[in-house]
Structure 1
Amino acid sequence: MISVIENRADIISIDEFLNLTDIRIPEYQRPYKWSDKNVLQLIEDIYTFRHKEHYRFGTIVIHINPITESNITTTYNDIVDGQQRYTTIRLLVYALFQLVENSNKFQSNTRDLLQNLKDKLDRIELNYKNKNSIENIHKNFQLIKRSIQHFDDITIYNFIKKFQVVVFFIHDITEAFQFFDSQNSRGKDLYPHDLLKAFHLREFDKNEFELQLKVVGHWEKYASKKLSILFAEYLYRIKGWSNNQHARYFGKEHIDMFKGISIDKIENYPYVKVLQISHSVVDNYNDNFERKIDRQEMGFPFQLDHIMINGRRFFEYVNHYLGINEKFKGKYLVEKEDSKHYSNAESIVKMVYQNHYSYRDGESYIRDLFECIMIYYIDKFGENELPAFLEKAFIWCYYLRFRYQRLGFDSLDNYIIKNNLFGAIKSAMQPKDVLKFTLKELPSFEDILSFSKGDSSRMDKSIVEFFKKNHYYVN
């Protein structure tokens, strides 16, 4: 909850806003990426509403961030929300200054006003390191210069003096992030992973401020779609299917499965001890001075079936599971000049990702299922007996191609519950226990012959031939 004592909200003009000192755009912010449409809309608004007494131009959230170095404290104004708008306003001021400097149609007080703002902006050094940010800044600066040629003294004066922004000054970084999430949720529906981000940011230890900034910066580098896929198509489904539950559509009502315990708040129950030990051992190892020498790092031993530790471990958890599938594909999805040089596992993975019908919905459902089962197996057993399991998983998944002419997700979901390979992995102590799983449903030999000789529009012939060659059928 935002403290009314420490925090404040001011409605200020563009002039007053740009006069704020020690403005910073933190490293965790996303790249600057305003499009032509965004920039042109801003310029159109400035011109359209130039005669209005006041025009409200959005919201800025600032974290008041005091930093002490060599016993000297400097209070920075870190922009948590609104950096896209702030950067564009800066570009606009510089472009207006050039316009006025290179023309004799403007009054001297307009020139003085812009000179004063430019001098103040020059003293605020912003280092944009991201390549896309730099390219977009250069592109938008040229676009702005082309688009403001019709501006006059009144338009410029009213923009600087009468256009307003609402600036929220917030002292606590966690509150700032919370406020950012609440502001951005107005008028649109947040994704479940956005709600999880906000929840776990609140669960950070008070002493983990720098780490909090780091993990948020890392999170913001991921495309929202990538995070949405991770939770909706992989983690949610694996958790549901491994508990023999239907797992069709991930929504806000399911986010509690990605919440757990807060180590420093929960009672010292017996079941918590193993998590406390793991948590402490990993931190102690990574914080040891020897790590500065050997550069080693111990990752937290995440397991999809284990209880989540709230806070920073959640963000590490996301990074960990984003990496598993990519690492798996990186090892087995390879290109070789001669098909004879492919291992059995490589041939299977190639069929999954590069068959002739990979673009169809039913095929994508099976591919996602294959990825889910591989993630779950690797999560528990690593690469032990992985090629053997990979073949069993492939047959288990692609039997669906023989059974259904048009495969809907509901049919796939029901098939898993009745023939649950996830459950076999969950109860297994060793890989050999999983490899004993009985494939209860296989195509008939007549189906194999029919698909290999006849209509090939239902599935790739290479899949049929694999079933046939390896005797995955019943007579």
Structure 2
Amino acid sequence: MAEIKCIRDLLKMDLDIPGYQRPYKWNIRNIVDLLNDIGDAINDAETYGSSFKYRIGTIILHRNKKGKMDIVDGQQRIISLVLLLKYLEPSFVCSILNIDFTNKVTQANIHKNYRFIEEWFSLKKEVKRKYLDAFEKILEVVVISVDKVAEAFQLFDSQNTRGKELDPHDLLKAYHLREMKKYPYEMEHAVTKWEAKDTKDIRNLFKVYLFPVWNWSRGIKTKPFTAKEIDTYKGITEDKGYSYARRAGKAMPYFQITEPFLAGNDFFEMVDHYLWLLDDVQREMERNTAFEVFETILKKETGSVGFSYTRDLFYCALLCYYDKFHNFDELAVKKLFTWAYMLRVDMVNLGYDSINKYAVGEKNDRYTNSIPIFAKINVARLHTDIAGIHVKVIRNTDKASGEKWDWLYDKLKEINGLTGVSE
């Protein structure tokens, strides 16, 4: 029987760890990854709403002769989650806490990991409540329960993953490697290049930049980049005979965020290309003296999540522009920067929902500018079409975000040569 449970409900079950299980070997690095993954899930839930769930993976259980549920697969995660919940809620009790762990490796790792959890939260006391709530409202797991131990081990052997579900980019990696099965050496080279990259950079590339830009350029509000969305990046094979497949083949090695590519090796080349292109765009803002005032704002720490969203929005727009025109025209960049940061000036509370609406040009009486900037870049013939867009710098005192962002508004006026005047 398989069912989806929130993590708190899982840990309430009468669980036991059978003697054949290996010691608890998760270390501090595993705990850091777990804490970061939960943190990302909390941020996504705040961004996309209460319906967002983060599935940690699959747990396989077998009912033993005593009526308890032996953990066949998932004990490392379960023990780690118990440690975390026990710290967050000292009164929490569960069957795992009653187990007398005699293995020295298990004892040492439990002690070290619990101590690290205490240290980690000592610097992040403000998020303890969010992490605790996540156990019931965000984090979930697939629980497979069987009555025969042989069935449990058969399921265990058939599992393709351990821990959390594969990330979308990992699924894409596997998909495109399969497309390269006729070319083993190219497969080896692709894997070597992929493994040399930081997986967090790849995840961030798709989540924050490529997938949102793909949608916004089509006038579509974006959504979380999950396994359900990977068809966008499966590419197309030349043997389909489609005209756009032949066109994509002839276009290489030139990529476009908004255009398809050939399945297989081109996927890995595409990821490599956009990691470098994003780095180029960010370094240009740091090094080009013409953009010093932009860089000062981009680097500013305000403690505002909305300010971070705005920075990402600007870099998305700049990446989309540079991807198409391959220049940093000062006027065009200024227009993109002003367009993005005027949204922060406009809004008292700026969440990702507003970013999403603003990016596609949805009209709102709070927005000074309702410009579908990504769609305009997508259809522009010349870069001057973007440089010529009229971006307003006006602050409606009846609807503005308050004095907190006065400094930003003044900077935008200065950037646009409007100091001392009203646009």
TM-score after normalising by structure 1: 0.51
Superposed counterparts of 1:285-304, under 5 Å: 300-304=253-257
Structure 1 residue 426: deviation in Å?
Answer: 0.6
Structure 1 residue 262: deviation in Å?
Answer: 1.4
Q: Aligned letter for 2:216?
A: W
Which residue pairs with 2:191 in the alignment? 216
Q: Which is worse superposed, 416-425 or 309-318?
A: 416-425
Structure 1 residue 397: deviation in Å?
Answer: 0.3
Q: Aligned letter for 1:273?
A: R
Q: Secondary structure at the match of 1:457?
A: helix
Pair 1:404-2:347 in alignment: yes
Go from structure 1 to structure 2 and tell me whether the alpha carbon gap of 1:222 and 1:316 turns closer, same or farther (over 3 Å shift). same
Which residue pairs with 2:325 in the alignment? 381
1: distance between equivalents of 2:158 and 2:293? 45
**1:303/1:379 contact within 8 Å kept:** yes
Superposed counterparts of 1:87-106, under 5 Å: none
Structure 1 residue 468: deviation in Å?
Answer: 4.3
**1:402/1:447 contact within 8 Å kept:** no
Q: Aligned letter for 2:357?
A: N
Q: What percent of counterpart residues are identical? A: 29
Structure 1 residue 276: deviation in Å?
Answer: 3.2
Q: How many pairs were matched up? A: 276
Superposed counterparts of 1:97-136, under 5 Å: none
Superposed counterparts of 1:233-382, under 5 Å: 233-263=208-238, 265-267=239-241, 269-279=242-252, 300-334=253-287, 343-352=289-298, 354-357=299-302, 359-382=303-326
2: distance between equivalents of 1:463 and 1:443? 9
Go from structure 1 to structure 2 and tell me whether the alpha carbon gap of 1:462 and 1:413 turns closer, same or farther (over 3 Å shift). closer
**1:351/1:463 contact within 8 Å kept:** no
Structure 1 residue 438: deviation in Å?
Answer: 2.8
1: distance between equivalents of 2:381 and 2:159? 45
Q: Per-residue CA shift, 1:274-297, capped at 9, x if unaligned?
A: 233345xxxxxxxxxxxxxxxxxx
Go from structure 1 to structure 2 and tell me whether the alpha carbon gap of 1:182 and 1:368 turns closer, same or farther (over 3 Å shift). farther
1: distance between equivalents of 2:375 and 2:209? 16
Structure 1 residue 311: deviation in Å?
Answer: 0.5
Q: CA RMSD in A?
A: 3.8
**2:211/2:222 contact within 8 Å kept:** yes
Which residue pairs with 2:173 in the alignment? 197
Q: Secondary structure at the match of 1:256?
A: helix
Q: Which is worse superposed, 311-320 or 190-199?
A: 190-199
Which protein is bigger by CA-based radius of gyration? 1
**2:393/2:413 contact within 8 Å kept:** no
Q: Per-residue CA shift, 1:15-58, capped at 9, x if unaligned?
A: xxxxxxxxxxxxxxxxxx984788xxxxxxxxxxxxxxxxxx99
2: distance between equivalents of 1:192 and 1:389? 33
1: distance between equivalents of 2:240 and 2:185? 24
**1:200/1:314 contact within 8 Å kept:** yes
Which residue pairs with 1:457 in the alignment? 404
TM-score after normalising by structure 2: 0.57
Go from structure 1 to structure 2 and tell me whether the alpha carbon gap of 1:346 and 1:471 turns closer, same or farther (over 3 Å shift). closer
Return 5+ residue gaps in structure 1 as ranges.
1-32, 39-56, 59-142, 148-179, 280-299, 335-341
Go from structure 1 to structure 2 and tell me whether the alpha carbon gap of 1:272 and 1:462 turns closer, same or farther (over 3 Å shift). closer
2: distance between equivalents of 1:395 and 1:446? 18
Go from structure 1 to structure 2 and tell me whether the alpha carbon gap of 1:209 and 1:463 turns closer, same or farther (over 3 Å shift). farther
Superposed counterparts of 1:47-58, under 5 Å: none
